[in-house]
Amino acid sequence: MVLVLALVNGLAGWLPVLLIVAVLGIAGLLRVSEADLAWQRIQARRARKLLAAATKRSGPRC
């Protein structure tokens, strides 16, 4: 019982630090995923433009 209380007391000091690290880590991951989505949108837009340009150059297919 004393060992459990000592462990809880030791962890209680680190709890705010762990919570802050967890929140910052999640926020960082969200920022990275948002940037990744934006990059994917840009790449998709470029691919559509290239495809449209290639289709116009090749002319109609009979």
What pLDDT sits at residue 61?
62
- The predicted-structure confidence for 15-55, as pLDDT tens digits, reads as follows 888 888 899 988 888 888 888 888 999 999 999 999 988 88
Calpha distance 39→2 (Å, rounded): 54
What pLDDT sits at residue 9?
81
What pLDDT sits at residue 48?
93
pTM of model > 0.75: no
What pLDDT sits at residue 43?
94
What pLDDT sits at residue 46?
95
